[in-house]
Amino acid sequence: MPHPLVDQLRFARREFQRGLEGLTDEEARRRFLPMNSISWNIGHLAWQEQRYWLWRAQDQVPLPEVRDKFAFGAPASTPPLAEMWEAWHMITQAADPWLDTITTEKLNSPVLENGEPIGTNWGSLLLRMIYHYWYHTGENLAIRQNLGHTDLPQFVGDIDEEAPYRPE
């Protein structure tokens, strides 16, 4: 069974996806300044997942273009929605086997770069990833409201069924 925080990450991912159901490519590529486009936000979260769970954890960068185009501070862009979902799915699916092995001991251990601690631990990265999903879920819903969308999902979904509190 995955660590309870991994369950919370997966719930945040599902809610992020749920908030974007029915979105068209044209809508996903629209920008309301100063916000990025929804499609950029998808690429950005794919970048962070790749950075943490594939590069930092496993020394893999399967999609260097995601690293180059969607990193924190990267220029705004309006990429195709289908391409961003494809990258996001590829990266999250590649990350999941490693995430399934996470233990409390690992979460408490320092993250290393070139053999040196970088000042955080795996648990803090996992929390940052979860909170980052919620931030962009809210931002994406604000963009959708600006697009005139109504009847948007209510959050936080069915947490009691899908991701209830579970002790370690």
Choices 3.10.180.10, 1.10.1370.30, 3.40.50.12160, 1.20.120.450: CATH for 4-162: 1.20.120.450
What are φ and ψ of residue 102, in 5° steps? -60, 135
**pTM value > 0.85:** yes
Look at residue 2 in the predicted model and tell me its pLDDT. Answer: 93
Look at residue 125 in the predicted model and tell me its pLDDT. Answer: 98
Average pLDDT over residues 110-125: 95
* Secondary structure (DSSP) of 32-74: -TTSPPHHHHHHHHHHHHIIIIIIIHHS--S-HHHHHHHSTTP
Look at residue 49 in the predicted model and tell me its pLDDT. Answer: 99
| Peptide bond connecting 111 to the previous residue in cis, omega within 30 degrees of 0 | no
Q: What are the sequence ranges of the domains in the chain?
A: 4-162
Residues 6+ apart with CB under 8 A from 2: 10, 99, 100, 102
Q: What is the pLDDT of residues 29-81, one digit of tens each?
A: 999 999 999 999 999 999 999 999 999 999 999 999 999 999 999 999 999 99
